[in-house]
Amino acid sequence: MRIRYDPKLKEHSRDLRNRSTLAEVLLWNQLKQRKMLGYQFMRQKPIGDYIVDFYCSRLKLVIEIDGESHREKGEADHKRQSELEDLAIHFLRFQDHDVKRDMRNVLRVIQNWIEQREQ
């Protein structure tokens, strides 16, 4: 099943990729080029009416990094996540500071999540 997105988001998605946060860049360096167990992740991916930080279509997995921009968006983030979960999309969320200070654990959580789904 293909998940549609609003084509108007494509340009905004490109802009977000060009203005990535440090945590996004650090995590992207660990996910790009199928480094995570051979799975392909995309960054700043439009899905439906939203743009998510990282997405693997094969796993239907979104990875979000919650930093300063998410502090006042609690309700909006919850609504967005709920709508995407209705499409059978799964979420992993990490705090910005955890990505920057404890990448090993962040990667372990992602890897464990994937390995549990593969069994």
Examine the pLDDT at 75 and tell me if it is beyond 60: yes
- The confidence score (pLDDT) of residue 66 equals 94
The structural domains of the chain, with segments of one domain joined by +, span 9-118
Examine the pLDDT at 5 and tell me if it is beyond 70: yes
- The confidence score (pLDDT) of residue 71 equals 60
Edge-first strand order for the sheet with 50-56 is 42-47, 50-56, 61-66, 90-95
CATH homologous superfamily for 9-118? VSR Endonuclease (3.40.960.10)
User: Can you tell me the mean pLDDT for 5-32?
Assistant: 95
User: Can you tell me the mean pLDDT for 2-12?
Assistant: 88
- The confidence score (pLDDT) of residue 119 equals 77
DSSP 3-state assignment of 74?
Answer: helix
Residue 32: DSSP 8-state: G
**pTM of model > 0.85:** yes
Examine the pLDDT at 72 and tell me if it is beyond 70: no
